Amino acid sequence: MYISRLFNSLNVSMQAQYMTELLELNEKTKEYGLVLTPRDVELMMAARNEVLHSYGRVELSIEVTKALIEVFSASSFIQQENYVDTLNELHEIFYDLKNETEDRISDMKLLHRMKDMFEEDCEGSLGLLKSRLEEYAEEFRRELQKNESLFEGENDYWDLKI
């Protein structure tokens, strides 16, 4: 894929910067007993790139990764031993959900929706979270279709509220 290759080459120069920023987050997550080593960060970023590639997405920054760490580290369902694996899964769930909701919901809104479901409905189960979010995406697309047929031709991209 030409474009993701080009983007990755741009991101290479940013790798050191990314590493520093992500490791700095340990200061905040430490209070929940969660810490990432440089090796963890490397693996996590490699897994994230793999996810982006397989879901056909181009990512500009690490804002989503940082937000996932900040939002989810407060969860009592995440422990140090499953921390990296959970973050990897959350990345995958997030980018899949971006596709499934046709890029119509903002990153922050999606992240918080994920966190709320993870805590309340799913009680920390990632499997359950996936299936709940699938239902959510389905419902969202149904609404979207309904709205589009109502306002045909006026698809103002980011204004849809659901």
Rounded Cα distance, 18 and 158, in Å: 28
* Chain position carrying tokens 């290759």: 5
If binding is defined by CB under 8 A, does position 98 make contact with another protein? yes
112 and 90 Cβ atoms separated by less than 8 Å: no
| DSSP-assigned letter for residue 162 | -
If binding is defined by CB under 8 A, does position 59 make contact with another protein? yes
If binding is defined by CB under 8 A, does position 107 make contact with another protein? yes
The one among 25, 83, 87, 95 contacting another protein by CB under 8 A: 95
If binding is defined by CB under 8 A, does position 27 make contact with another protein? no
Applying CB under 8 A, which part among 32-40, 60-68, 80-88, 115-123 lies near another protein? 60-68
Applying CB under 8 A, which part among 19-27, 82-90, 105-113, 131-139 lies near another protein? 105-113
The one among 30, 33, 38, 58 contacting another protein by CB under 8 A: 58
| DSSP symbols for 96-123 | HHHHHTTT-S-HHHHHHHHHHHHHTTST
Q: What is the closest distance, in whole angstroms, from the C-beta atom of residue 115 to another protein in the complex?
A: 17
If binding is defined by CB under 8 A, does position 97 make contact with another protein? no
Contacts with 67 (C-beta within 8 Å, 6 or more apart), sequence order = 107, 108, 111
